[in-house]
Structure 1
Protein backbone atom coordinates (compact mmCIF):
# COMPACT_ATOMS: atom_id res chain seq x y z
CA UNK A 1 0.00 0.00 0.00
CA UNK A 2 1.26 3.45 -0.91
CA UNK A 3 2.34 5.56 2.06
CA UNK A 4 2.36 8.84 0.16
CA UNK A 5 -0.65 11.20 0.13
CA UNK A 6 -2.85 11.36 -2.98
CA UNK A 7 -2.47 14.14 -5.51
CA UNK A 8 -3.60 17.63 -4.47
CA UNK A 9 -4.01 16.79 -0.77
CA UNK A 10 -0.84 18.55 0.40
CA UNK A 11 -1.50 21.41 -2.02
CA UNK A 12 -5.04 21.83 -0.70
CA UNK A 13 -3.73 21.90 2.87
CA UNK A 14 -1.14 24.56 1.95
CA UNK A 15 -3.76 26.76 0.28
CA UNK A 16 -5.97 26.29 3.35
CA UNK A 17 -3.01 27.36 5.51
CA UNK A 18 -2.29 30.39 3.33
CA UNK A 19 -5.86 31.67 3.28
CA UNK A 20 -6.47 31.34 7.02
CA UNK A 21 -3.11 32.80 8.04
CA UNK A 22 -3.22 35.78 5.69
CA UNK A 23 -0.54 34.39 3.38
CA UNK A 24 -2.71 33.28 0.48
CA UNK A 25 -0.12 33.97 -2.25
CA UNK A 26 2.65 32.21 -0.34
CA UNK A 27 0.39 29.22 0.27
CA UNK A 28 -0.58 29.07 -3.41
CA UNK A 29 3.04 29.16 -4.59
CA UNK A 30 4.06 26.49 -2.06
CA UNK A 31 1.12 24.33 -3.15
CA UNK A 32 2.09 24.64 -6.82
CA UNK A 33 5.72 23.70 -6.10
CA UNK A 34 4.69 20.70 -4.00
CA UNK A 35 2.05 19.37 -6.40
CA UNK A 36 4.04 20.02 -9.59
CA UNK A 37 5.90 16.76 -9.05
CA UNK A 38 2.70 14.91 -10.11
CA UNK A 39 2.90 16.40 -13.59
CA UNK A 40 6.62 16.94 -14.07
CA UNK A 41 9.04 14.17 -14.90
CA UNK A 42 11.75 15.65 -12.70
CA UNK A 43 13.17 13.04 -10.33
CA UNK A 44 16.57 12.71 -8.71
CA UNK A 45 18.39 9.80 -7.08
CA UNK A 46 19.01 11.46 -3.74
CA UNK A 47 21.43 9.79 -1.36
CA UNK A 48 21.01 9.59 2.42
CA UNK A 49 23.33 12.58 2.68
CA UNK A 50 21.00 14.60 0.43
CA UNK A 51 18.04 14.07 2.77
CA UNK A 52 20.20 14.98 5.75
CA UNK A 53 21.22 18.23 4.04
CA UNK A 54 17.57 19.01 3.26
CA UNK A 55 16.70 18.46 6.94
CA UNK A 56 19.61 20.63 8.08
CA UNK A 57 18.55 23.35 5.66
CA UNK A 58 15.04 23.25 7.16
CA UNK A 59 16.57 23.70 10.62
CA UNK A 60 18.61 26.65 9.36
CA UNK A 61 15.47 28.22 7.87
CA UNK A 62 13.72 27.90 11.23
CA UNK A 63 16.69 29.43 13.05
CA UNK A 64 16.90 32.28 10.53
CA UNK A 65 13.19 33.11 10.89
CA UNK A 66 13.51 33.00 14.69
CA UNK A 67 16.49 35.37 14.66
CA UNK A 68 14.68 37.80 12.35
CA UNK A 69 11.63 37.77 14.61
CA UNK A 70 13.81 38.37 17.68
CA UNK A 71 15.60 41.27 15.95
CA UNK A 72 12.20 42.77 15.14
CA UNK A 73 11.22 42.82 18.79
CA UNK A 74 9.56 39.46 19.35
CA UNK A 75 9.97 38.35 22.95
CA UNK A 76 11.56 34.97 23.64
CA UNK A 77 8.38 33.85 25.39
CA UNK A 78 6.43 34.32 22.15
CA UNK A 79 8.86 32.44 19.92
CA UNK A 80 6.46 29.47 19.76
CA UNK A 81 4.09 31.58 17.63
CA UNK A 82 6.59 31.22 14.77
CA UNK A 83 5.26 27.69 14.31
CA UNK A 84 2.84 29.28 11.86
CA UNK A 85 5.75 29.28 9.39
CA UNK A 86 6.48 25.57 9.89
CA UNK A 87 5.02 24.60 6.47
CA UNK A 88 7.65 26.75 4.77
CA UNK A 89 10.42 25.75 7.17
CA UNK A 90 9.80 22.06 6.46
CA UNK A 91 9.30 22.60 2.73
CA UNK A 92 12.91 21.74 1.68
CA UNK A 93 12.66 18.28 3.24
CA UNK A 94 9.22 17.64 1.76
CA UNK A 95 10.45 18.65 -1.70
CA UNK A 96 13.42 16.29 -1.35
CA UNK A 97 10.97 13.50 -0.52
CA UNK A 98 8.64 14.31 -3.40
CA UNK A 99 11.22 14.88 -6.11
CA UNK A 100 13.41 11.96 -5.12
CA UNK A 101 13.04 8.49 -6.60
CA UNK A 102 12.86 6.84 -3.18
CA UNK A 103 9.37 6.29 -1.76
CA UNK A 104 10.67 6.70 1.79
CA UNK A 105 13.62 8.26 3.56
CA UNK A 106 15.56 6.89 6.57
CA UNK A 107 14.02 7.89 9.88
CA UNK A 108 17.49 8.49 11.31
CA UNK A 109 17.73 11.49 8.98
CA UNK A 110 16.26 13.47 11.88
CA UNK A 111 18.70 12.30 14.56
CA UNK A 112 22.43 13.07 14.66
CA UNK A 113 23.07 10.32 17.23
CA UNK A 114 21.09 7.69 15.30
CA UNK A 115 23.11 8.49 12.18
CA UNK A 116 26.39 8.19 14.08
CA UNK A 117 25.31 4.82 15.46
CA UNK A 118 24.44 3.62 11.96
CA UNK A 119 27.83 4.76 10.65
CA UNK A 120 29.54 2.93 13.51
CA UNK A 121 27.58 -0.25 12.74
CA UNK A 122 28.57 -0.02 9.09
CA UNK A 123 32.22 0.40 10.02
CA UNK A 124 31.97 -2.69 12.21
CA UNK A 125 30.50 -4.65 9.31
CA UNK A 126 27.11 -5.11 10.93
CA UNK A 127 23.98 -5.47 8.85
CA UNK A 128 21.65 -2.50 9.25
CA UNK A 129 18.02 -1.98 8.36
CA UNK A 130 17.03 1.59 9.27
CA UNK A 131 13.38 2.45 9.71
CA UNK A 132 11.95 4.32 6.75
CA UNK A 133 9.28 7.01 6.56
CA UNK A 134 7.40 8.94 3.90
CA UNK A 135 7.13 12.56 5.04
CA UNK A 136 3.89 13.25 3.13
CA UNK A 137 1.30 12.77 5.85
CA UNK A 138 3.49 14.15 8.69
CA UNK A 139 4.02 17.28 6.58
CA UNK A 140 0.26 17.69 6.10
CA UNK A 141 -0.17 17.33 9.88
CA UNK A 142 2.38 20.13 10.38
CA UNK A 143 0.45 22.34 7.94
CA UNK A 144 -2.82 21.71 9.81
CA UNK A 145 -1.25 22.46 13.20
CA UNK A 146 0.38 25.63 11.86
CA UNK A 147 -3.01 26.76 10.56
CA UNK A 148 -4.57 26.21 13.98
CA UNK A 149 -1.84 28.31 15.62
CA UNK A 150 -2.68 31.37 13.54
CA UNK A 151 -6.27 31.10 12.37
CA UNK A 152 -8.76 33.52 13.92
CA UNK A 153 -11.85 32.13 12.17
CA UNK A 154 -12.93 29.07 14.12
CA UNK A 155 -15.73 28.05 11.72
CA UNK A 156 -13.57 28.22 8.60
CA UNK A 157 -10.76 26.41 10.35
CA UNK A 158 -13.09 23.66 11.54
CA UNK A 159 -14.58 23.15 8.08
CA UNK A 160 -11.19 23.10 6.40
CA UNK A 161 -9.70 20.77 9.00
CA UNK A 162 -12.61 18.36 8.62
CA UNK A 163 -12.32 18.28 4.82
CA UNK A 164 -8.56 17.76 4.83
CA UNK A 165 -8.69 14.95 7.39
CA UNK A 166 -11.68 13.39 5.62
CA UNK A 167 -9.69 13.43 2.38
CA UNK A 168 -6.79 11.69 4.15
CA UNK A 169 -9.17 9.06 5.50
CA UNK A 170 -10.71 8.48 2.07
CA UNK A 171 -7.30 8.10 0.45
CA UNK A 172 -6.22 5.58 3.08
CA UNK A 173 -9.41 3.49 2.93
CA UNK A 174 -9.45 3.46 -0.86
CA UNK A 175 -6.31 1.31 -0.94
CA UNK A 176 -7.88 -1.33 1.30
CA UNK A 177 -11.20 -1.54 -0.56
CA UNK A 178 -13.56 1.41 -0.21
CA UNK A 179 -16.72 0.74 1.83
CA UNK A 180 -19.14 3.71 1.83
CA UNK A 181 -20.82 2.99 5.18
CA UNK A 182 -17.50 2.47 6.92
CA UNK A 183 -16.20 5.71 5.44
CA UNK A 184 -19.33 7.65 6.48
CA UNK A 185 -19.07 6.34 10.04
CA UNK A 186 -15.38 7.15 10.18
CA UNK A 187 -15.98 10.59 8.66
CA UNK A 188 -18.48 11.54 11.37
CA UNK A 189 -15.95 10.39 13.94
CA UNK A 190 -13.41 12.61 12.18
CA UNK A 191 -15.80 15.57 12.49
CA UNK A 192 -16.03 15.02 16.24
CA UNK A 193 -12.28 14.59 16.63
CA UNK A 194 -11.66 17.61 14.39
CA UNK A 195 -13.84 19.76 16.60
CA UNK A 196 -12.10 18.56 19.75
CA UNK A 197 -8.69 19.04 18.14
CA UNK A 198 -9.58 22.50 16.86
CA UNK A 199 -10.95 23.51 20.26
CA UNK A 200 -7.80 22.22 21.98
CA UNK A 201 -5.49 24.08 19.60
CA UNK A 202 -7.31 27.38 20.11
CA UNK A 203 -7.23 26.90 23.87
CA UNK A 204 -3.50 26.25 23.64
CA UNK A 205 -3.01 29.30 21.44
CA UNK A 206 -5.00 31.55 23.79
CA UNK A 207 -3.09 30.20 26.79
CA UNK A 208 0.28 31.16 25.32
CA UNK A 209 -0.84 34.46 23.80
Structure 2
Protein backbone atom coordinates (compact mmCIF):
# COMPACT_ATOMS: atom_id res chain seq x y z
CA UNK A 1 0.00 0.00 0.00
CA UNK A 2 1.40 3.38 -1.04
CA UNK A 3 1.21 5.89 1.81
CA UNK A 4 0.28 9.29 0.36
CA UNK A 5 0.32 12.75 1.95
CA UNK A 6 -1.58 15.56 0.20
CA UNK A 7 -0.61 19.22 0.53
CA UNK A 8 -2.80 21.90 -1.04
CA UNK A 9 -4.12 25.23 0.23
CA UNK A 10 -7.56 24.70 -1.36
CA UNK A 11 -9.97 22.60 0.76
CA UNK A 12 -11.96 21.48 -2.29
CA UNK A 13 -8.81 20.03 -3.92
CA UNK A 14 -7.85 18.15 -0.77
CA UNK A 15 -11.38 16.79 -0.34
CA UNK A 16 -11.56 15.80 -4.01
CA UNK A 17 -8.31 13.84 -3.80
CA UNK A 18 -9.44 12.19 -0.56
CA UNK A 19 -12.63 11.01 -2.26
CA UNK A 20 -10.70 9.91 -5.34
CA UNK A 21 -8.46 7.56 -3.37
CA UNK A 22 -10.93 6.52 -0.68
CA UNK A 23 -11.66 3.23 -2.41
CA UNK A 24 -8.20 2.64 -3.84
CA UNK A 25 -6.72 -0.81 -3.28
CA UNK A 26 -3.10 0.37 -3.50
CA UNK A 27 -3.02 4.02 -2.36
CA UNK A 28 -3.80 5.13 1.19
CA UNK A 29 -4.10 8.81 2.08
CA UNK A 30 -2.40 9.32 5.42
CA UNK A 31 -3.48 12.95 5.76
CA UNK A 32 -4.05 16.19 3.86
CA UNK A 33 -2.51 19.48 4.97
CA UNK A 34 -2.81 23.08 3.79
CA UNK A 35 0.73 24.48 4.10
CA UNK A 36 4.38 23.58 3.66
CA UNK A 37 5.34 23.67 7.32
CA UNK A 38 2.54 21.22 8.10
CA UNK A 39 4.09 18.76 5.63
CA UNK A 40 7.37 18.77 7.57
CA UNK A 41 5.58 18.51 10.91
CA UNK A 42 3.55 15.51 9.70
CA UNK A 43 6.38 13.46 8.19
CA UNK A 44 8.42 13.88 11.37
CA UNK A 45 5.74 11.80 13.11
CA UNK A 46 4.18 9.58 10.44
CA UNK A 47 5.98 7.72 7.63
CA UNK A 48 4.80 8.38 4.07
CA UNK A 49 5.98 7.15 0.69
CA UNK A 50 4.85 9.98 -1.58
CA UNK A 51 3.83 13.61 -1.11
CA UNK A 52 1.44 15.12 -3.65
CA UNK A 53 1.79 18.88 -3.31
CA UNK A 54 0.97 22.22 -4.92
CA UNK A 55 3.78 24.72 -5.61
CA UNK A 56 1.93 27.68 -4.12
CA UNK A 57 1.71 26.74 -0.46
CA UNK A 58 1.45 29.13 2.50
CA UNK A 59 4.33 29.36 4.99
CA UNK A 60 6.70 27.23 2.88
CA UNK A 61 6.38 27.21 -0.91
CA UNK A 62 6.59 24.00 -2.90
CA UNK A 63 10.05 24.52 -4.39
CA UNK A 64 11.57 25.31 -1.00
CA UNK A 65 9.77 22.29 0.42
CA UNK A 66 11.31 20.11 -2.30
CA UNK A 67 14.81 21.23 -1.33
CA UNK A 68 14.19 20.41 2.35
CA UNK A 69 12.74 17.00 1.50
CA UNK A 70 15.61 16.17 -0.84
CA UNK A 71 18.20 17.00 1.82
CA UNK A 72 16.48 15.61 4.91
CA UNK A 73 13.97 13.00 3.72
CA UNK A 74 15.52 11.47 0.57
CA UNK A 75 13.41 8.30 0.80
CA UNK A 76 10.16 10.24 0.39
CA UNK A 77 9.17 10.91 -3.22
CA UNK A 78 7.36 14.09 -4.17
CA UNK A 79 4.98 14.88 -7.01
CA UNK A 80 4.00 18.45 -7.80
CA UNK A 81 0.27 18.71 -8.55
CA UNK A 82 -0.20 22.30 -9.63
CA UNK A 83 -2.23 24.82 -11.52
CA UNK A 84 0.98 26.62 -12.46
CA UNK A 85 2.20 26.10 -16.05
CA UNK A 86 4.37 23.04 -16.45
CA UNK A 87 6.49 24.66 -19.18
CA UNK A 88 7.62 27.18 -16.55
CA UNK A 89 8.01 25.04 -13.44
CA UNK A 90 8.16 21.33 -14.31
CA UNK A 91 11.86 21.09 -15.15
CA UNK A 92 12.90 23.25 -12.20
CA UNK A 93 10.72 21.16 -9.91
CA UNK A 94 12.50 17.99 -11.07
CA UNK A 95 15.88 19.69 -10.59
CA UNK A 96 14.82 20.65 -7.05
CA UNK A 97 14.03 17.05 -6.20
CA UNK A 98 10.51 16.24 -7.42
CA UNK A 99 9.83 12.87 -9.02
CA UNK A 100 6.92 14.14 -11.08
CA UNK A 101 4.87 17.12 -12.18
CA UNK A 102 1.13 16.90 -12.86
CA UNK A 103 -1.03 19.74 -14.14
CA UNK A 104 -4.37 20.19 -12.41
CA UNK A 105 -5.96 19.98 -15.85
CA UNK A 106 -5.21 16.24 -16.16
CA UNK A 107 -7.77 13.48 -15.74
CA UNK A 108 -8.12 11.18 -12.76
CA UNK A 109 -6.39 8.27 -14.49
CA UNK A 110 -3.23 10.36 -15.02
CA UNK A 111 -2.99 11.20 -11.31
CA UNK A 112 -3.13 7.53 -10.41
CA UNK A 113 -0.61 6.62 -13.13
CA UNK A 114 1.79 9.28 -11.89
CA UNK A 115 1.69 8.01 -8.31
CA UNK A 116 2.24 4.40 -9.37
CA UNK A 117 5.11 5.30 -11.72
CA UNK A 118 6.87 7.46 -9.13
CA UNK A 119 6.43 4.79 -6.47
CA UNK A 120 8.25 2.36 -8.78
CA UNK A 121 11.17 4.76 -9.07
CA UNK A 122 10.23 6.53 -12.28
CA UNK A 123 9.88 10.20 -13.20
CA UNK A 124 6.44 11.37 -14.32
CA UNK A 125 6.09 14.29 -16.75
CA UNK A 126 3.46 15.01 -19.38
CA UNK A 127 4.01 13.84 -22.94
CA UNK A 128 4.36 17.48 -24.02
CA UNK A 129 7.19 18.17 -21.57
CA UNK A 130 8.91 14.86 -22.35
CA UNK A 131 8.80 15.73 -26.04
CA UNK A 132 10.15 19.19 -25.31
CA UNK A 133 13.07 17.66 -23.40
CA UNK A 134 13.78 14.98 -26.00
CA UNK A 135 13.68 17.35 -28.96
CA UNK A 136 15.39 20.21 -27.15
CA UNK A 137 12.64 22.57 -28.26
CA UNK A 138 10.87 25.34 -26.42
CA UNK A 139 7.11 25.52 -26.06
CA UNK A 140 7.10 29.21 -26.96
CA UNK A 141 9.24 32.32 -26.75
CA UNK A 142 8.30 33.04 -23.13
CA UNK A 143 8.90 29.43 -22.24
CA UNK A 144 12.41 29.67 -23.65
CA UNK A 145 13.11 32.55 -21.26
CA UNK A 146 11.90 30.49 -18.32
CA UNK A 147 14.10 27.53 -19.27
CA UNK A 148 17.10 29.78 -18.65
CA UNK A 149 16.17 30.20 -14.99
CA UNK A 150 17.86 28.27 -12.23
CA UNK A 151 15.72 26.46 -9.69
CA UNK A 152 16.40 29.18 -7.12
CA UNK A 153 15.53 31.94 -9.60
CA UNK A 154 12.23 30.20 -10.39
CA UNK A 155 11.61 29.94 -6.65
CA UNK A 156 12.22 33.67 -6.11
CA UNK A 157 10.03 34.54 -9.10
CA UNK A 158 7.18 32.42 -7.76
CA UNK A 159 7.28 34.23 -4.40
CA UNK A 160 7.48 37.67 -6.01
CA UNK A 161 4.50 36.82 -8.20
CA UNK A 162 2.32 36.10 -5.16
CA UNK A 163 3.12 39.53 -3.77
CA UNK A 164 5.87 38.86 -1.25
CA UNK A 165 8.36 41.64 -0.51
CA UNK A 166 12.14 41.12 -0.69
CA UNK A 167 12.32 40.81 3.09
CA UNK A 168 9.57 38.17 3.16
CA UNK A 169 11.18 36.19 0.34
CA UNK A 170 14.54 36.33 2.10
CA UNK A 171 13.01 35.05 5.33
CA UNK A 172 11.22 32.16 3.61
CA UNK A 173 14.32 31.09 1.69
CA UNK A 174 16.60 31.67 4.67
CA UNK A 175 18.94 34.07 2.86
CA UNK A 176 19.71 37.76 3.33
CA UNK A 177 17.70 40.48 1.65
CA UNK A 178 20.64 41.58 -0.52
CA UNK A 179 20.74 38.11 -2.08
CA UNK A 180 17.10 38.45 -3.12
CA UNK A 181 17.87 41.80 -4.73
CA UNK A 182 20.61 40.08 -6.72
CA UNK A 183 18.22 37.34 -7.85
CA UNK A 184 15.63 39.94 -8.80
CA UNK A 185 18.20 41.75 -10.96
CA UNK A 186 19.12 38.46 -12.67
CA UNK A 187 15.46 37.70 -13.31
CA UNK A 188 14.82 41.08 -14.88
CA UNK A 189 17.88 40.68 -17.09
CA UNK A 190 17.01 37.16 -18.19
CA UNK A 191 13.33 37.96 -18.79
CA UNK A 192 14.20 41.25 -20.51
CA UNK A 193 12.24 43.61 -18.26
CA UNK A 194 13.33 46.69 -16.32
CA UNK A 195 11.12 46.72 -13.22
CA UNK A 196 9.28 44.47 -10.80
CA UNK A 197 5.82 45.26 -12.19
CA UNK A 198 6.85 44.15 -15.68
CA UNK A 199 8.58 41.10 -14.25
CA UNK A 200 5.43 39.95 -12.45
CA UNK A 201 3.20 40.88 -15.37
CA UNK A 202 5.28 38.89 -17.83
CA UNK A 203 5.17 35.85 -15.55
CA UNK A 204 1.38 36.16 -15.27
CA UNK A 205 0.94 36.57 -19.02
CA UNK A 206 2.93 33.40 -19.64
CA UNK A 207 0.91 31.53 -17.04
CA UNK A 208 -2.47 32.57 -18.45
Q: TM-score, normalised by structure 1?
A: 0.29
Q: Which has the higher contact order (CA 8 A, sep 6+)?
A: 1
Higher strand share: 2
Q: TM-score, normalised by structure 2?
A: 0.30
